[in-house]
Structure 1
C-alpha cells in the first residue's frame, strides 16, 4: 500500500510572511558565564571557510532545478559531502509526485534512545529562476538555498562523533521550489514507516541579513494542526535564546510558511525554522550568487542552529543539574567560571616536583622539571558544586605536548598517566592527585594538561573526540587545566640553544611573536634564526638583522630588550621553527637561571606564552684570567694572550672576583679596571 501522500502545497514564495515578525527579548544575555561549556565549545568550531566552500560548490552548478540535467550531479555531490562529514552511508532516497521524480539526500546519525522518533535538520538543495518550470536558466541559488545546505553539512560534521539521544536525520530536499514535493514525500515515508518526528528544524535562506542583522526564528502559529503550536513556540524560544547565549544575532519571532517544514506540520509534528527574513532582492534571480552571501552572518545562524540542536539532543548537556562541578584553576584569579580568565596557561593547580621521596613535601610548590630524569606531577581538583564526589568516582588524566606541534587536541598530545581519585572531593573542597611520573627528554618548553571528570560532570574530551585548538578546550572547560613548563638541562654547559615554535591554528592566521629578554644582562645576545619567509612583510621591532642566507634570517636581540615580530602569516596547523641561541657574555652570573618570555598572539588573541629558564654557563671567551706573575687580569682577545703560558692563566667567572684577589685590569684589554 502506497504511503498517504498528505496535502499538496503551492510553489513557495518567501517574499511576504502571513504576519510580521516581532523582536525577541532574551531571558538573559551572555555576560561572562556560559550556559553550557559543551555547547559553547562546539559552536566555536563552526568553520566559516567550510560554509564558504560548500556554498561556492553548490552555486557553481549552472542550475540545481529539480527538472534540470544537473540536479543528479548536485545530488551526487551532496552524498560525497555527507560522506566526508562522517556519514559514509548517506544515500539518495527517491520520490515521485505529480508525474515527476527526484531524490532527497539523507544522512542518519543513530541516537541512544529506542527507535521510533527522530530529530530532523533539513534544507532544500534545488534552485530556480522566477518561473518554477524553467529548468535551463542560470540559477546559482547561493542564498536560496545553498546557504541552508552548507549550514546543515557543517552541523552534521560537528555532530558526527557526538552522543545524541534521539536519532537524527539530515535531509537535503529537492522539489521544494515546485511545491515542497521532496519534503512532502519524505514526511509520508516516515509516517508509513511508523517513525515520528520529535522536532524538525528547517534552514531556508540564511545568508542575506536584513538591515538590522537579525534572524527570524519561525514557529508554527495555526496552519493545518493546532495541537503542535505550543510545543513549536517553546522550541522556537530555545532557538532564540541560543542566539542570545552563543551569538550576537538579534532575533525576530515569526511564523512558519512556504518552506519544507509545512508537510511535517500538517502531520502534527513540531517544527521551527531559521530564515533571514523578507527582502533579498536576489530572490529567484541570477544575482543570487556567492558574492551576495554574508558569511559571517551565515556562520552566526549556523552556530545558533547547532546550539539549538545540542540543547535539545546532546547527551552531556544539562549536567549542571547533577550538583557536581569539578574544576582545575587556570590562574590564581580563576573561580571555576566558564570561560576562564586569560592567561589560561599558568595553572597553579598543576605543578612539578623533582623528588617523590618521603622527604619531599608536594605542597612546597612547583619546581622546573629536570631533563632526562623522572619528575613528579601533581594536580589539585576542586569542587564548586553542591554535591560531594565520593572516593573512586572521579579520575584525572594528564597529557603533554611537544613544542614542535600545532598543539591541536588530541592529535598533538600524548598521555602521561591517569589516576582515580581515592578520596572524597567535598562540595566547596579540593584534593591533591598524584604523583604522575614524567621524564622530559627535550630542553624546551612543554604544555601540560590535566583533565578531571566524574559522573555528572564530564570533561569536554569525554564527549567530543574531534580535533580543536587546545586553548579553546582550556578556556571553555573548567575541568581542564594547563600549565606550560620549561625543562632544564641536568648538566648545563656552553652557549644555550632552545627551539621555539610559532603554531598555526585551525585556519590561516595573522600572528605576533614577542621575545622578552628584559631579565638578561645588557651584554647578552639572543640570536633568533628563522625562515626568511616569516619576516617578509613582517613588522619587526627591537631586533636587528645579524645574518642572512638564501632561506633563513638571523635576528639579534640584546639583553634587557623586548623584540616583536608582527603580521606573520601562518597557514592552517603550520609549525614554524625558530632556533634561539643565547650568549650571556661577561655580566651574567655563572649557573644562574635567567627567564626569557616567549609569547604568541593569533588574530589579536593570546594563544601561548612560555617562560623559558636558561642557565648561564660561562664559556672560555666569556671568562677572565689572572696572571699570577704580573698580577694582571686578561680576556682571551687580549694581544698579550698568546704569550701567556697555560700555567699563568687562573680562571675567574667574574671580573670582580679577580679584582678582589688583588689583580689589576690589563691596560690593553681591560683599561677600565686598570689602576696603574
Structure 2
C-alpha cells in the first residue's frame, strides 16, 4: 500500500475508534506479501510444455478410450498424472496424499457402464486441514463426434492446459506452507457429461470436506481468438450470481434485501481480480457474471450443485476451430486442438493467478460465518459475524449497490461486530473478511444465506 494511503487509513481508524484501539485494528490490516510476489513469477513454461506434450502424446484421452495400454488412452494418461504427483510428493518429503476416487457411470454419452476416475493430490493444511481449496482441470479429450473414442484427440488446450496448470501449481506450492488444505485434481468424464466433477464433489461430501472454492481451469492456454483478436493480458473468470442450492425462502429474502451478485463464488472472483491487480500487473481478471459460457458447462457446475463455491477460469478469447474438432484441413483452415495453439507465456500467467489464489486463501483464516447486518430506520449500520480460528481481526467492506467491486473498507480488531457510523444500511451492500496476524485476508462474505461460504444442502 502506498505510504499516503496507509496514513489516510490510519487517520480514519483513529477518527472512528480512537487512538486507544489503534494497535488492535492495525494488526488485522492486510498487506502485500513478498512470497506472493515471488509466486507471481514462479510458473515454469518448460514444465507446462512438458506436461502438455506428454498428455498429447497419449493420442486420445477420451473417457471411453483404452484403459490398459501403457502408451495410449485415458488409462495411460491417468497413470502418468499419478506418477507426476508421486514425483512432486517425493521432492517434498511425501507431502502429497494421492487418491483416485471413481464411479461406474452410464448416461447419454456413456452407453455402457464405464469407470470414471479422477487423479487427486492433497496437501494437508498445517492448522486448518478441514478447509479445502480445490483446483481442477479435466484430463479427457474428444473430437467432433463426442462418441468417437479411437481417433486422435490431442486436447492440448481443452484441457491439457488446465491439467498442466494444476500440476505446476502443485509443484510450486508443495514446499510452501498452507494452513488450509490444497487439492489438485485432474478429473475425467467432462466431455461426456461433467462426470469427473461430480465424482470429486461426491467424494468431497463423503469425506466431510469444507470446500471454500473449486477453481476450475478449462481452456486456459491462449489469448488468441478464432477471429484473430489476441488478448494475452486478460483472463475470464465465470461465477454464478445466486447459489445453485438456494431455497425458495432464501430466494425471497435475497430478492428483497439483495445478494443477486454476491454469492460466495462471485466474491472469490472479486478476490482473484484483486490479487491480479496487486501481484500480476500484466494480467487482468475479466469477471463474467455467468456460471459458464452461454449454453456450455464445466466441472465447476457439479460443485455448485453440491452447495460448494466454485468458479471457472477460461482464456480471454477462444478459437473454436481448435475445440472438439477432428484433425483436418478444410477450405484452407486447419482444425484440431494441437500443441501449436498454446501460448505458454499466457498459460504461465494464468497458472500464476491460480497459484496465488490458492496460496492466499490457504494462508488466510476461513471466511467469517453467520454474517448479518442491522440498522433499519437508523443512520448507522451494525455488522455482526461469528469469529473464525486464526483471525487476528476483521475488515468490514461496503460498496454502492451498482458497483462491481468493493469500494470502501474499515479494519477492526478481534471482535464479532462493529458499528459503521453515518453509513445508512439502505444505500450500500456490505460484507466482512477475516485477516490473519501476518496480513492474509479471506474473501469477503455477504450477509445471510446468499453470501455464506458454508455448504448448503442440495435442492
- TM-score tier by shorter-chain length is 0.5 to 0.7
Residue equivalent to 2:121:
107
Q: Supply the distance in 2 between the matched residues of 1:126 and 1:142 (Cα, whole angstroms).
A: 10
Residue equivalent to 2:324:
284
Q: Secondary structure at the match of 1:176?
A: coil
What are the Cα deviations for residues 425-462 of structure 1, in whole angstroms up to 9, with x where unaligned? xxxxxxxxxxxxxxxxxxxxxxxxxxxxxx9679xxxx
Is 2:169 aligned against 1:155?
yes
Q: Secondary structure at the match of 2:154?
A: coil
Q: Does 240-249 or 135-144 show the bigger shift?
A: 240-249
Is 2:240 aligned against 1:220?
yes
Is 2:89 aligned against 1:55?
no
Is 2:203 aligned against 1:189?
yes
Residue equivalent to 1:253:
287
What are the Cα deviations for residues 230-276 of structure 1, in whole angstroms up to 9, with x where unaligned? 21111101111222222211331112320001011012211112101
Residue equivalent to 2:181:
167
Q: Identify the match of residue 124 of structure 1 among 111, 118, 138.
A: 138
Deviation of 1:279 after TM superposition, in Å, equals 2.7
Q: Secondary structure at the match of 1:178?
A: coil
Residue equivalent to 1:581:
none
* Equivalence map 1:188-587=2 (5 Å): 188-210=202-224, 211-213=230-232, 214-222=234-242, 224-226=244-246, 229-247=262-280, 248-254=282-288, 255-257=290-292, 258-277=297-316, 279-280=318-319, 281-285=321-325, 286=327, 287-314=336-363
What are the Cα deviations for residues 53-77 of structure 1, in whole angstroms up to 9, with x where unaligned? 1111111111000110111100010
Q: Supply the distance in 2 between the matched residues of 1:457 and 1:96 (Cα, whole angstroms).
A: 46
Residue equivalent to 1:390:
none
Deviation of 1:158 after TM superposition, in Å, equals 1.1
Q: Secondary structure at the match of 2:200?
A: helix
Displaced runs of 4+ in structure 1, greater than 4 A?
226-229, 455-458
Q: Supply the distance in 2 between the matched residues of 1:251 and 1:46 (Cα, whole angstroms).
A: 18
Q: Supply the distance in 1 between the matched residues of 2:279 and 2:155 (Cα, whole angstroms).
A: 28
Q: Supply the distance in 2 between the matched residues of 1:284 and 1:50 (Cα, whole angstroms).
A: 25
CA shift in 2, pair 1:212/1:85, >3 Å: same
Residue equivalent to 1:43:
40
Q: Secondary structure at the match of 1:185?
A: helix
Q: Identify the match of residue 65 of structure 2 among 28, 53, 68.
A: 68
Q: Supply the distance in 1 between the matched residues of 2:157 and 2:231 (Cα, whole angstroms).
A: 18
CA shift in 2, pair 1:303/1:114, >3 Å: closer
1:147–1:205: 8 Å Cα contact kept in structure 2? yes
Q: Supply the distance in 1 between the matched residues of 2:271 and 2:286 (Cα, whole angstroms).
A: 13
Residue equivalent to 1:97:
105
Q: Supply the distance in 2 between the matched residues of 1:88 and 1:236 (Cα, whole angstroms).
A: 27
What are the Cα deviations for residues 146-190 of structure 1, in whole angstroms up to 9, with x where unaligned? 100001001001111222122122111010110011111221122
Residue equivalent to 1:344:
none
Deviation of 1:208 after TM superposition, in Å, equals 1.7
Residue equivalent to 1:77:
80
Q: Secondary structure at the match of 2:32?
A: coil
Deviation of 1:96 after TM superposition, in Å, equals 1.6
How large is the RMSD of aligned CA atoms in angstroms? 2.8
CA shift in 2, pair 1:200/1:48, >3 Å: same
What are the Cα deviations for residues 598-627 of structure 1, in whole angstroms up to 9, with x where unaligned? xxxxxxxxxxxxxxxxxxxxxxxxxxxxxx
**Bigger relative contact order, structure 1 or 2, given CA contacts below 8 A and separation 6+?**
2
Q: Supply the distance in 1 between the matched residues of 2:79 and 2:96 (Cα, whole angstroms).
A: 13
The normalised TM-score by structure 1 is 0.41
Residue equivalent to 1:337:
none
**Unpaired segments of 5 or more residues in structure 2?**
6-30, 67-72, 90-94, 107-112, 225-229, 251-258, 328-335, 366-389, 394-435, 440-459
Q: Give the length in aligned residue pairs.
A: 293
Deviation of 1:35 after TM superposition, in Å, equals 2.6
2:101–2:199: 8 Å Cα contact kept in structure 1? no
Q: Supply the distance in 1 between the matched residues of 2:324 and 2:127 (Cα, whole angstroms).
A: 41
Residue equivalent to 1:146:
160
Q: Secondary structure at the match of 1:234?
A: helix
Residue equivalent to 1:552:
none
CA shift in 2, pair 1:48/1:73, >3 Å: same
Deviation of 1:225 after TM superposition, in Å, equals 2.7
2:231–2:317: 8 Å Cα contact kept in structure 1? no
Is 2:137 aligned against 1:137?
no
Structure showing the higher helix proportion among its residues: 2
The normalised TM-score by structure 2 is 0.59
Q: Supply the distance in 2 between the matched residues of 1:221 and 1:61 (Cα, whole angstroms).
A: 38
1:103–1:173: 8 Å Cα contact kept in structure 2? yes
